[in-house]
Structures are given as structure tokens and as C-alpha cells.
Structure 1
Amino acid sequence: MNESKRNSTETDDWEPLKAFTNARIALGKTGVSIPLNESLQFRLAHAHAKDAVYSQLNVPELQAILEKTGLPVYCLKSAAENRDIYLQRPDFGRLLNPSSAETLQKLNSPPADVCLIIADGLSATAIMKNAGPVVQLLVDKVKQAGFSLAPLLIIEQGRVAITDAVGEWLRPRLAIIFIGERPGLSSFDSMGAYITYAPQPGLTDERRNCMSNIREQGLPPELAVDKLMYLIQTAFRMQLTGVALKDNNELGASTVYPQLPT
């Protein structure tokens, strides 16, 4: 085989589909290997994913963004003291540290309809990029629907189930936690939203609804908020979330938000 042919890149039949996805498809090949450029892109994506796991919330910046909603914002921490403990002990990320639990206890506010929580999860990068516009838009929609809102909570080193620890003290009818998802090789900045009706300690994940891949290249803020409002109102009507609550709202359909009887 001559040198020029051995170093040439053979294209893949799936090449046209690359226009519709960021997934690593149709990489082509050079000889028996993938092309050098694709190999380097893979290493770069892997580095971005690792960086996202160890990224940190810029709490003052995030707090300033969320305060634009007009709601009070409280900054809390889980029982995981640092990132290494957070990764090694998932159970610590599901609990509030004593100081944060005391902060919520002292609020002594009446139970609200909806409580919104923002946690770093496995990608603080995702939260810094996506949480602000989604939360601001959702707060406006929730208010328009006539529901009351608890103070906004930022939780460092938090896992999804820390929602239940918050529920023990604030007793909201429904809680939504926005959290950085486990980074993928094409989506290190993806945010998830988990919805829990009547959050309280002892619940399991089958009692929650999950919305994934909230970001501009996935589910953009406007569509995410439309789907969240549908789930919020359906959850109040059915008085539950989880496997029994199905998302039957057509993606992208226009939605009106009258307050439903509960």
C-alpha cells in the first residue's frame, strides 16, 4: 500500500447524520484506526468531562443571578465537606450539614406550593451555564399560575435526594432540584431537573420525575420550562410524582397555565 493511501481517511456511510447529533458517530478510519483528529477530539472531550466533575459553583455570581427573581436566596451545603468526600460517599451528598439544616429550621416560613433548589451535582459547569435563565423563567411561570414559592436554595456538594432533607424543614407541596448531570463525552454541561411531590426523608427515586439534558444544544430553557409547568400542574392534580406521572405534553406545543384545582 502506498504512503498516501495508507494515510488517507475513509469516510463513513453515516456521515450525513452528523449534522443532527453531537454523538460520536461516523468517525471514519485511517487504515485500521480512527483518524488522528478524531482521537484528539475524544481526548479533549474526556478532559472537559473530568474538569466538569471537579468544577465549583461560583456561589456569589449564581446568587446574584437568582436574586433577580425577587425571591430570597439561601446558600447551603451538604454533609460532604469537599469534592473527594462527595464522590466517595454519595450518602453524604443527600444530607444537609448541621449548619444548613439549622438555617432552614430558623426560617420557620409557612409551607409553599413550590420549592426550587439548585445544586452542583456532578457538573457545576452545567449549573453556571444553565440554571439562571431556566430558574428565572420558571419562577415567572409559577407566579403566573398562582402558586406560592419558597425561598430559592443553592446547595453545594448536593445529590438529588437532598430534596427530601429540604422537605423535612420547609414542607413544600412540591420541590424541584436543578442539578449538574454526570458529564458525557459530548455533553459536559448538561443540567437535569428532578421533581418530587411532598418531599420527605425516606422517599426513593421512583417517586420522582426526571427531565434531562437541559442546555442550549439539548432541551433549551423555554421548552424545559413548558414541560416543567405541565408536570407541576399534573402533579398537583394527581397529588403524586414518579412512575405514575407520565409526561404526555407534546414537546414544543403552546401551553396555557391556569391554576388547576387541587
Structure 2
Amino acid sequence: MAIDLRAFTNARVALGRAGHSLPTAELLRFQLDHARARDAVHQALDPCHLPPHVLLRSAALDRATYLRRPDLGRRLSSDSAGLLAPGEYDAALIVADGLSAVAVERHARPLLAALLPKLEGWRLPPLHVVLQGRVAIGDEIGQRLGAALVVLLIGERPGLTSPDSLGIYLTWAPRAGRTDAERNCISNVRPEGLDYALAAHKLHFLMQEARARRLSGVALKEDALLL
């Protein structure tokens, strides 16, 4: 009995062929998915889709500069640095547009809604939202805020079947110069990937473990029991 592999995945498998090429329908679908991925990279974030927040900007002044100069997306603009109010915080929650503003607009609010009830008793500053931000910008923000832990929600690089994938990066003792090996990542948060409840469950586990063990990254394993 023949098995239709496409019933089990959104990946581009079992596409068929027409001579030495793809069938016209599959070629057109590829071009549409490619266009959606490109649009996701270039689309600007509308902060109105997010809960109340402090709006910040990176040193990349516009989207074109952000895409050409990743280094500028890793640090705050001088004006934004002055908007941060230091305190004694257990964790700071940050949202950045990254490479897919559409992922942030669709998934950041429901993910935060699933997470925040689990953080009762945690000392948290207001939510901060960064335009033209890369992952490492969370380190500077967390350090300036005086947060022991930083959690960054960011739009991931779009794929041909996933232009709206949200990523989560967790870093203990954030400071400029932290490496990716010192972070934990939860990827592909969206209804078609890791749903909000399970992502919040995994993130809360990592936050608790990071605070208890005072570390993050490769030394901190994600072995939370499933819901």
C-alpha cells in the first residue's frame, strides 16, 4: 500500500515530477513560499500587536541597515539605553522583531499569556520590545536593567514552510559578549510547531533551573516532563 508522506509533514517531499522538472503546481507553490519568506524578513514590526511595553531600538536605524549590519542589531541605540530603569529583577522579558516580524505579531502575545501566570512571585521589569534587534541585544538590556536572567522572544529566520517561527533565548547573568553556548534556545514556537502551552512549560522549567543552578547554556539541559 502506497503511503502519502505529505500527510505526515509540511516538508517538501514527494513532489512528483514533470519530465526533468517539478510539476507546475509545485513550482508555483515553491515560488509563493519563497516570496512569503522574503516578505517576512523585510516586514516591519507593528508594536500595537504586543502587550503594554517599553519600546526600544537597536543601533540599526532601518531594516536595510539591520540586514546588512548584524552587529548593529546586537546593541542598543544611545537614546534607547537611556530608557532603561535598573532594578533588582529576577528576570527580564524582551521581545525583538529579529528576522520575522510576522512571527512576533502572531505568537508573542499568546506565548506571554501562557507564561506569565507561571511567574507569580518573580520580580520582573516592564516588557521591553526592540525594533531591529538580534539575539545578543538581550544581553545588553538585561545587564543594564540589573536582571539576573533574560528571556528574549524573537522572530526566527523564515523557512519555506515556516515564515512565522518564534524563537526563545534564555541567558543567565546577561552581559555584553555572551556567546550562544551560554544560552538555551526553544525554537519553532507556533501552532504548527511547538504550541504555546508546551513552550511556556519548557521555558518556565529552564527559568527555574537557571535560577537554582545560576547558569544557562550547554550546562543546562532541558529535561522537563511533558504536560
TM-score range relative to shorter protein: over 0.9
Two-structure CA RMSD over aligned residues (Å): 1.1
Among residues 167, 182, 203, which one is paired with 1:228 in the alignment?
203
The within-5 A match list for 1:44-59 is 44-59=32-47
Shift of 1:241: 0.4
Determine the structure 1 residue equivalent to 2:66: 86
Alpha-carbon distance between aligned partners in 2 of 1:91 and 1:41, rounded to the nearest angstrom: 34
Q: Is the 8 A contact 2:74 2:133 kept in 1?
A: yes
What fraction of aligned residue pairs are identical, expressed as a percent? 48
How far 1:59 moved relative to its partner? Answer: 1.5
| Aligned counterparts of 2:115 and 2:82: Cα–Cα separation in 1 | 28
Does 1:154 pair with 2:120?
Answer: no
Partner AA of 1:140 in structure 2:
P
Corresponding residue for 1:18?
Answer: 6
Task: Give, as a single letter, the amino acid of the residue that structure 1 aligns with 2:105.
Answer: M
Give, in whole Å, the separation in 1 of the partners of 2:138 and 2:40.
Answer: 22
In the TM superposition, residue 31 of structure 1 has moved relative to its aligned partner by 2.1
Q: Distance in 2 between matches of 1:113 and 1:168?
A: 12
Residue identity in the other structure for 1:185: L
Aligned residue in 2 for 1:140: 117
Paired residue secondary structure (2:70)? coil
Contact 2:143 / 2:173 at 8 angstroms: preserved in 1? no
Offset at residue 223 of structure 1 (A): 0.6
Determine the C-alpha separation between the residues in 2 that align with 1:155 and 1:219.
23
Contact 2:6–2:13 (8 Å) recurs in 1? yes
Aligned residues: 226
Written as runs of structure 1 = structure 2, the 5 A alignment for 1:83-232 is 83-104=63-84, 107-108=85-86, 110-143=87-120, 146-232=121-207
The worse-fitting range, judged by mean Cα deviation, of 134-143 and 208-217 is 134-143
Question: RCO greater where, 1 or 2, for CA within 8 Å and sep 6 or more?
Answer: 2
* One-letter amino acid of the counterpart of residue 94, structure 1: R
Offset at residue 32 of structure 1 (A): 2.1
Show the counterpart of 1:242.
Answer: 217
Give TM-score scaled by structure 1 length: 0.84
Residue 56 of structure 2: which of 76, 79, 102 is its match? Answer: 76
Cα offset, 1:201, TM superposition:
1.2
CA distance in 2, matches of 1:79, 1:100: 9
Corresponding residue SS for 1:103: coil
Q: Secondary structure at the match of 1:116?
A: strand
Q: Which of 1 and 2 has greater Rg?
A: 1
Q: How does 1:35-46 map to 2 (within 5 A)?
A: 35-46=23-34
| Amino acid aligned to 1:241 | S
Show CA shifts across 1:106-156 (max 9, x none). x24x2211110000000001000100000122111111xx22211100000
Q: Which runs of 4+ in 1 moved over 3 A?
A: none
Q: Secondary structure at the match of 1:176?
A: strand
> Aligned partners of 1:231 and 1:120: how far apart in 2?
23
SS of alignment partner, residue 99 of structure 1: helix
CA contact under 8 A between 2:93 and 2:151: conserved in structure 1? Answer: yes
Instruction: Report the counterpart of residue 48 of structure 2 in structure 1.
Output: 60
SS of residue in 1 equivalent to 2:223:
coil
Assess if the C-alpha contact under 8 Å between 2:73 and 2:134 holds in 1. Answer: yes
CA offsets, 1:180-235, max 9 Å, x none?
A: 00000000000000000010112111100011100000001011000001111111
